[in-house]
C-alpha cells in the first residue's frame, strides 16, 4: 500500500479544537442584531445552570438562547456531516467529484419535501422534514438496488451512474409536481435553497441522533477508505469484504446526510470543497482526513452561515448561495497556491 500511515497528531487536535471553539464563540457573539458579549455570557450561563449567573429576561436572551445558539450548533453539525460524508464518498467511489448527494440524496429529499409542500394538508408542514428524510433514504435505496446489478468488479462506477440516473429522474418528477402547483413554488424554492433562519433546538434534537450515529460510523470506518484507494479487486485480495463495507458506509453516510438536509434544505459545495481543501493541506490519508473533515466542515458551515446572516443584516442571504460564492473561489485559491500533486 502506497498510502503512508498517518495519525492525527496531538498538535492538530489542539489546533482544531481551538479553531472550532473560537468559530462557535465568534458566531454566537455576532449576528443580525447586536448583543453585548456580557448578555451572551449571561444568557448561555443561566440556561446551563452556571452558579450565580443572573437570569437575563430580555429580548437578547431569546435571540441568543432560542435563535442564535441552536442555529450555530446546527450549522456546525450539518457542516460536519456533509463534509465527512463527502470525503467518505470520494474515498468509497475513488471519485474526486463525489459529494454527499452523489447517490440521489438531494433529489430524493427534494421530491419528498415537494410532495409534502404541495399536498396542502394542514399537517403537511410539520411533515416536510420527515418526507424529505424518507425521500432521501428511498432514493439511495433505489440507486443501490439498480447500481448493484452492474458488472461485477465495476460496482462503484455503476453505482455512480445509477445515482446520476436516479437523481435526474427524481428531479424531473419534482419539477413536474412543482409546475403543477405554481402557488406552492415559493415554498419549494425556499426549501431547495436551504436555510438555517428558522431553525431552533427542536431541529437539532430531531437530527442529532442520526448525525451522531452516522458520524461515528464514518469515523470508525475511516481506515477502510484508505484500503479502497487501491481498487475493489485489490482491496478484496487484501481481505476486505468490499461490497459489505461499501454498503455499511453508504448507509451511514446516507442516514446522516438525509437527516441534515431534512431540516436545512439543500446546502451544496460543503461536501466537496471542505474535504478537498483539507486534502491539499494534509494529504490523502482518510485516517486523518475524516476527523479533520468533521471539524473543518463544521467550521466552514458556521462561517458561511455567519456571512449569510450578517453580510446584508438584517436581511438573510440563502446559505447555499454563500457556500458556493465563498467556497468556490476559496477552493480555487487553495488549488492554485498548493499544487502539491495531491490526487484522490
Partner 1 sequence: MITKSLAVATVLVGLMGLTTAATPSQAATPTPYPVVVTNYGASMTFTKAPAKIISLSPTATEILFAINAGSKVVAVDNQSNYPASAPKTALSGYTPNIESILSYNPDLVVVSYDPGDLVSSLRNAGVKVLLQDAANTLADSYAQIAQLGAITGRRVSANAVVSNMKKKIASALASIPNRGSNVTFYHELDDTYYSVTSSTFIGQLYSMAGLTNIADKADGAEWGYPQLSSEYIVAKNPSLIFLADTGCCNQSKKTVKSRPGFGQLAAVKRNHIYVLNDDVSSRWGPRTASLIEAIAWAVKNFLRTNH
Please give the grid coordinates belonging to residue 65.
438562547
Q: Is 124 in the site for partner 1 (CB under 8 A)?
A: yes
Please, which residue, 63 or 259, has the CB nearer to partner 1? 63
Q: Which stretch binds partner 1 (CB under 8 A): 57-65, 222-230, 267-275, 299-307?
A: 57-65
Contact pick of 295, 309, 323, 327 for partner 1 (by CB under 8 A): 309
| Interatomic CA distance for residues 319 and 292, integer angstroms | 22
- Interface with partner 1, residue 172, by CB under 8 A: no
Spatial separation of the C-alpha atoms in residues 88 and 275, rounded to whole Å:
9
In the complex, the smallest distance separating the C-beta of residue 202 from partner 1, rounded to whole angstroms, is: 7
* 125: contact with partner 1 by CB under 8 A: yes
For the bound state, the minimum distance from the C-beta of residue 122 to partner 1, rounded and expressed in Å, comes to 6
- Per CB under 8 A, 316 contacts partner 1: yes
Residue of 332, 188, 222 whose CA lies nearest to 269: 332
Binding mask 93-122 for partner 1 (x = CB under 8 A): ------------------------x--xxx
Q: Which of 92, 206, 220, 240 is nearest to 159 (CA)?
A: 92
Give the three-class secondary structure for 163. Answer: helix
Determine, following the binding rule CB under 8 A, whether residue 72 of this chain makes contact with partner 1: no
Rounded to whole angstroms, the Cα distance separating 183 from 148 reads 40
Q: Is the separation of the CB atoms in 257 and 100 below 8 Å?
A: yes
Region binding partner 1 by CB under 8 A among candidate stretches 93-101, 179-187, 250-258, 293-301: 179-187
Nearer to partner 1, 137 or 317 (CB): 317
Residue 68 found at the interface with partner 1 (CB under 8 A): yes
Q: Yes or no: say if 72 and 302 are a contact pair by the CB < 8 Å rule.
A: yes
DSSP state of 183: G
- Give me the least distance between CB of 217 and partner 1, in Å please: 30
Q: Which of 59, 149, 152, 340 binds partner 1 (CB under 8 A)?
A: 59
316 touches 194 (CB < 8 A) = no
* Grid cell 471553539 in the structure block, residue: 21
Distance from C-alpha of 145 to C-alpha of 128, rounded to nearest angstrom: 25
State the CB neighbour count (10 A cutoff) for residue 312: 11
Considering beta carbons, is residue 158 or 175 the nearer one to partner 1?
175
Q: What are the residues binding partner 1 (CB under 8 A)? A: 31-33, 59, 62-63, 66-68, 70, 117, 120-122, 124-125, 179, 182-187, 189-190, 195, 197-202, 309, 312-318
Amino acid at each position: 500500500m502506497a498510502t503512508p500511515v498517518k495519525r492525527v497528531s496531538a498538535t492538530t487536535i489542539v489546533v482544531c479544537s481551538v479553531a472550532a471553539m473560537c468559530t462557535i464563540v465568534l458566531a454566537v457573539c455576532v449576528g443580525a442584531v447586536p448583543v453585548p458579549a456580557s448578555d451572551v455570557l449571561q444568557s448561555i450561563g443561566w440556561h446551563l445552570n452556571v452558579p450565580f449567573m443572573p437570569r437575563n429576561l430580555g429580548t437578547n436572551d431569546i435571540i441568543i438562547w432560542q435563535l442564535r445558539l441552536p442555529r450555530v450548533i446546527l450549522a456546525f453539525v450539518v457542516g460536519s456531516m456533509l463534509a465527512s460524508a463527502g470525503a467518505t464518498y470520494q474515498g468509497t467511489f475513488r471519485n474526486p467529484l463525489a459529494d454527499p448527494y452523489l447517490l440521489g440524496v438531494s433529489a430524493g429529499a427534494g421530491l419528498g419535501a415537494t410532495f409534502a409542500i404541495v399536498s396542502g394538508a394542514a399537517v403537511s408542514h410539520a411533515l416536510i422534514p420527515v418526507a424529505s428524510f424518507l425521500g432521501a433514504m428511498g432514493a439511495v435505496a433505489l440507486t443501490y438496488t439498480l447500481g448493484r446489478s452492474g458488472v461485477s468488479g465495476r460496482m462503484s462506477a455503476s453505482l455512480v451512474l445509477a445515482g446520476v440516473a436516479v437523481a435526474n429522474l427524481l428531479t424531473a418528477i419534482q419539477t413536474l409536481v412543482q409546475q403543477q402547483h405554481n402557488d406552492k413554488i415559493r415554498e419549494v424554492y425556499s426549501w431547495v435553497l436551504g436555510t438555517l433562519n428558522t431553525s431552533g433546538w427542536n431541529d437539532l434534537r430531531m437530527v442529532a441522533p442520526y448525525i451522531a450515529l452516522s458520524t461515528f460510523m464514518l469515523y470508525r470506518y475511516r481506515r477502510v477508505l484508505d484500503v479502497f484507494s487501491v481498487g475493489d479487486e485489490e482491496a478484496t485480495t487484501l481481505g476486505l469484504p468490499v461490497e459489505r463495507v461499501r454498503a455499511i458506509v453508504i448507509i451511514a453516510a446516507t442516514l446522516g446526510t438525509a437527516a441534515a438536509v431534512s431540516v436545512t434544505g439543500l446546502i451544496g459545495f460543503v461536501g466537496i470543497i471542505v474535504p478537498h481543501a483539507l486534502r491539499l493541506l494534509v494529504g490523502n490519508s482518510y485516517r486523518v482526513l475524516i476527523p479533520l473533515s468533521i471539524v473543518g466542515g463544521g467550521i466552514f458551515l458556521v462561517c458561511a452561515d455567519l456571512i449569510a446572516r450578517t453580510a446584508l443584516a438584517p436581511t438573510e442571504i440563502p446559505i447555499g448561495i454563500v457556500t458556493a460564492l465563498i467556497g468556490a473561489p476559496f477552493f480555487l485559491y487553495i488549488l492554485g497556491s498548493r499544487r502539491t500533486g495531491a490526487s484522490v
